[in-house]
Amino acid sequence: MANNKRFCKECGDEIYGRRDKQFCSDHCRATHNNKINSDLTGYIRRVNYTIRKNRNILCALNPAGKARVHKMKLVDSGLNFDYYTNVYKTRSGKTYYFCYDQGYLELEDEYFALVVKGNYVG
Ligand SMILES: [Zn+2]
């Protein structure tokens, strides 16, 4: 009955026993779950690192707490626009992106306003 054969999700060995078993052994189950958890931990660490790096970049470009910089300067500095901690939309429709306390707002002509939370935005 080849159709009824089930194989371990970790090592590929045939599984005997209960129908709902997904692993051949407790060892394989633990190994598989550890891999999933370490992938997740690695991902979270990379996201946290990227957001912290973004904050440091914004901080360095904005020592006075308010600045106007060209997009290329942000890109050259290594700012990753995909990662931020929160978004703040004003009533007038402007959208600020924050990495913790450091934020930016896209202006016209590829310029950005850099702000620090607390000084200008709730
Ligand atoms: Zn196995």
Residue ranges near ligand 1 (ion) with Cβ within 5 Å: 8, 10-11, 13, 24, 28
Distance (Å, rounded) from C-alpha 111 to C-alpha 13? Answer: 58
Q: Residue 113: which H helix or E strand, with range?
A: strand 111-116
CA of 45 to the centre of ligand 1 (A): 29
Q: What percent of the chain has pLDDT over 90?
A: 87
Which pLDDT belongs to residue 120?
Answer: 52
Which pLDDT belongs to residue 38?
Answer: 92
Distance, C-alpha 57 to centroid of its chain: 17
Give the global pTM.
0.75
pLDDT digits (tens, 9 = 90+) for 51-109: 999 999 999 999 999 999 999 999 999 999 999 999 999 999 999 999 999 999 999 99
Distance (Å, rounded) from C-alpha 110 to C-alpha 104? Answer: 12
CA of 27 to the centre of ligand 1 (A): 7
| CB-based contact 98:113 (threshold 8 Å) | no
Distance (Å, rounded) from C-alpha 31 to C-alpha 25? Answer: 10
